[in-house]
């Protein structure tokens, strides 16, 4: 057993942990980062495929108002490109395929008005929510007592509008509307500007893609202090005393004055705290399950759909394919089609054998784009519920009665331990930008106390 003595221990080398480490490095502090996986990046994972294409199996996009990620992009001189967004999008609903442009599919006028009103109501409601104290809204208890699905039942009248709204929710939360409270959904929309921003490409959360991927970016940021990171060392126990903390992994005992925890909330429950976490904090962490998303990439010799006048964006009602994007560069030789499988679909689909998964996805795409879609040169998929050190994505969610009862605990320190991670962010919670701001916030808290 090796013993390490340091001033500050950071647990987790995702965007939040590396943001905190960056601040400590800049402040010339003595710190260490302990990471469970054998790699940096947490919920980012960039892979160079045998077909020659680089893909993000985790986080991919950056929106124009995610200023902290853009600071890192500029600092590292990372190149970006716009998500391909030209040509017609396609909607497959009840065996009928129709084309449209923009974010909202072309549907019958009644359903279209219904959908437009629902989105506008969401934007108006979320605009009234404080991102620092959503539990203080005059109607917080009422909104937090119902699920988003209950709200949808009351406010959306047509089956088609409800179906499309639900697909939007699954894409944003990687979960079903019945899993999250209305108040949490309103907070999340406001945190990411509004619902329109979260579902859009242009001026939205899906606007820009990083060359070299989001894991490539964090590797560059962490390069100056890579020697401070210990990999494959999951922390399983953390004890505290008057002067600081002692963290334990299988191979290390780390003594520090202060600690910053950046691991997903649901996983905090798997660490033994001595003394135990306060009961309110422990109850909060029992109530923040992760969503479920699968990313599937189909690589083709060319982006043939572009020549057909299509953008590569599909919205479909046929399990498991719900939403697709063309994420190849505008000048790319190869076609890179990203298919999302979300929420319960992801939880069920990943249990099928890989051959069956590939067959089902390719068949769905072929139905829409025709025969050329039947022969991808590569298929790759990943479901984040299988990742032991994430257990899902994109973020920890809150069902009813969580924000109002326990929300005030989300950023509260516990003795010498401070809490970061995208789930603790006010702005862009659930996203890379929120992870960075949370790491900076926790680092400032600790620096003030040293």
Using rule CB under 6 A, residue 262 touches ligand FAD: yes
Q: Which of 58, 105, 204, 303 binds ligand FAD (CB under 6 A)?
A: 58
How many residues interact with ligand FAD (rule CB under 6 A)? 39
Neighbours of 211 (CB within 10 A): 12
For the CB of residue 42, give the shortest distance to ligand FAD in the complex, in Å.
2
For the CB of residue 112, give the shortest distance to ligand FAD in the complex, in Å.
27
Q: Which of 12, 265, 376, 407 binds ligand FAD (CB under 6 A)?
A: 12
Looking up tokens 């999302």 gives 340
> What tokens does 103 get?
């974010």
How many angstroms separate the CA atoms of 321 and 73, rounded?
Answer: 32
Looking up tokens 């969580």 gives 402
For the CB of residue 98, give the shortest distance to ligand FAD in the complex, in Å.
27
Class of residue 74 by CB neighbours under 10 A (exposed 0-12, middle 13-18, buried 19+): exposed
For the CB of residue 249, give the shortest distance to ligand FAD in the complex, in Å.
7
Q: Which of 263, 337, 338, 346 binds ligand FAD (CB under 6 A)?
A: 263
Using rule CB under 6 A, residue 15 touches ligand FAD: yes
Q: Is the dihedral of CA 288, 439, 341, 95 positive or negative?
A: positive
Which residue, 16 or 315, is less far from ligand FAD as judged by CB? 16
Q: Which of 435, 442, 443, 446 binds ligand FAD (CB under 6 A)?
A: 435
**Which listed range, 54-62, 162-170, 252-260, 372-380, lies at the site for ligand FAD (CB under 6 A)?**
54-62
Which residue, 61 or 300, is less far from ligand FAD as judged by CB? 61
How many angstroms separate the CA atoms of 335 and 449, rounded?
Answer: 52
Using rule CB under 6 A, residue 295 touches ligand FAD: yes
Which residue, 55 or 59, is less far from ligand FAD as judged by CB? 59
Q: Which of 22, 23, 32, 37 binds ligand FAD (CB under 6 A)?
A: 37
Using rule CB under 6 A, residue 13 touches ligand FAD: yes
Cβ pair 433, 274 in contact under 8 A: no
How many angstroms separate the CA atoms of 322 and 296, rounded?
Answer: 12
Looking up tokens 């929106």 gives 63
Which residue, 114 or 179, is less far from ligand FAD as judged by CB? 179
Using rule CB under 6 A, residue 368 touches ligand FAD: no
Q: Which of 118, 64, 89, 446 is nearest to 260 (CA)?
A: 446
For the CB of residue 308, give the shortest distance to ligand FAD in the complex, in Å.
26
Cβ pair 374, 350 in contact under 8 A: no
Q: Tell which positions 370-429 bind ligand FAD, by CB under 6 A.
A: 384, 389-390, 393-395, 421-422
**Which listed range, 5-13, 88-96, 150-158, 321-329, lies at the site for ligand FAD (CB under 6 A)?**
5-13
DSSP codes joined into one string, 73-84: HHHTT--EEEPP
Using rule CB under 6 A, residue 235 touches ligand FAD: yes
Q: Which of 236, 219, 159, 164 is nearest to 15 (CA)?
A: 219
Looking up tokens 């072309």 gives 106
Using rule CB under 6 A, residue 228 touches ligand FAD: no
Q: Is the dihedral of CA 135, 138, 143, 145 positive or negative?
A: positive
For the CB of residue 164, give the shortest distance to ligand FAD in the complex, in Å.
21
3-state SS string for 171-204: HHHCCCHHHCEHHHHHHHHHHCCCHHHHHCCCCC
The residue ranges that bind ligand FAD (CB under 6 A) are 11-17, 34-37, 42-44, 58-61, 234-235, 262-264, 267, 271, 293, 295, 384, 389-390, 393-395, 421-422, 430-432, 435
């Amino acid at each position: 057993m090796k013993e390490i003595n340091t001033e500050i221990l950071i647990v987790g080398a995702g965007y939040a942990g590396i943001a905190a480490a960056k601040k400590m490095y800049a402040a010339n502090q003595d710190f260490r980062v302990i990471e469970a996986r054998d790699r940096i990046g947490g919920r980012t994972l960039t892979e160079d495929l045998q077909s020659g294409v680089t893909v993000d199996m985790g986080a991919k996009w950056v929106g124009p108002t995610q200023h902290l990620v853009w600071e890192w992009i500029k600092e590292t001189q990372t190149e970006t490109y716009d998500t391909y967004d030209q040509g017609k999008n396609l909607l497959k609903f009840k065996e009928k395929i129709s084309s449209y442009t923009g974010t909202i599919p072309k549907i019958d006028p009644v359903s279209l008005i219904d959908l437009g009103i629902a989105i506008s109501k969401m934007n108006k409601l979320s605009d009234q929510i404080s991102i620092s104290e959503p539990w203080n809204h005059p109607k917080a208890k009422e909104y937090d007592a119902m699920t988003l699905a209950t709200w949808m039942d009351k406010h959306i009248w047509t089956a088609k509008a409800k179906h499309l709204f639900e697909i939007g929710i699954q894409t944003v939360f990687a979960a079903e509307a019945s899993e999250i409270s209305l108040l949490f959904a309103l907070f999340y929309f406001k945190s990411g500007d509004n619902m329109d921003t979260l579902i859009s490409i242009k001026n939205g959360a899906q606007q820009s893609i990083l060359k070299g991927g989001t894991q490539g970016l964090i590797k560059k940021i962490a390069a100056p202090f890579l020697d401070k990171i210990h990999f494959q060392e999951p922390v399983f126990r953390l004890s505290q005393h008057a002067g600081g903390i002692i963290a334990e992994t299988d191979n290390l005992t780390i003594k520090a004055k202060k600690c910053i925890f950046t691991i997903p909330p649901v996983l905090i429950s798997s660490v033994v705290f001595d003394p135990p976490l306060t009961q309110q904090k422990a109850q909060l962490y029992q109530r923040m399950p992760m969503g479920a998303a699968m990313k599937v990439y189909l690589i083709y010799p060319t982006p043939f759909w572009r020549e057909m006048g299509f953008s590569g964006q599909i919205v479909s009602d046929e399990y498991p394919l719900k939403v697709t994007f063309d994420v190849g560069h505008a000048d790319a030789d190869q076609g890179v089609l990203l298919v999302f499988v979300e929420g319960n679909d992801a939880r069920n689909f990943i249990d099928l054998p890989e051959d069956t998964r590939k067959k089902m996805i390719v068949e769905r795409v072929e139905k829409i784009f025709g025969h050329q879609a039947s022969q991808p040169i590569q298929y790759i998929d990943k479901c984040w519920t299988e990742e032991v050190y994430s257990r899902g994505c994109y973020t920890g969610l809150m069902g009813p009665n969580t924000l109002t009862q326990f929300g005030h605990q989300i950023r509260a320190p516990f003795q010498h331990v401070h809490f970061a991670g995208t789930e603790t962010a006010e702005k862009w919670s659930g996203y890379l930008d929120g992870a960075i701001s949370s790491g900076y916030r926790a680092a400032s808290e600790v620096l003030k106390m040293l």
